[in-house]
Amino acid sequence: MPELDKVLFTLNEGEISDIVETEYGYHIVRVDKIIPPSFKPFKEVKEHIKKTLTARRHNEAYNEMVSKLEKDADIQIFEDRLHKASD
């Protein structure tokens, strides 16, 4: 909610906001603690990134293969046989 973001990022630790109106109603917020941003060294996240990208590529390739198989498949449904089998 951009309205809350504007207020939250102007407050210091321990401060309480005025009333903030958003699409969800009215809010009063308090900043208990400000945690500075931190970054992990690339060496620490490299394997995780590789696994994530590999999984994404596999998923995309799988979805493409399924779509192609569905498109190229000659699927016929014999309604009369389905009804006979269920009787």
The H or E element containing residue 27 is strand 25-27
**Which pTM value belongs to this model?**
0.44
C-beta separation of 47 from 27 below 8 A: no
Residues of the chain with pLDDT > 70, as a percent, come to: 97
> What pLDDT, in 10s, does the model give residues 24-38?
999 999 999 999 989
The span from the CA of 32 to the CA of 13, in Å, is 6
At 3 the three-state DSSP class reads helix
| Residue at 36: amino acid letter | P
C-beta separation of 21 from 6 below 8 A: no
pLDDT at 83 over 80: no
pLDDT of residue 87: 63
Over residues 7-28, mean pLDDT? 94
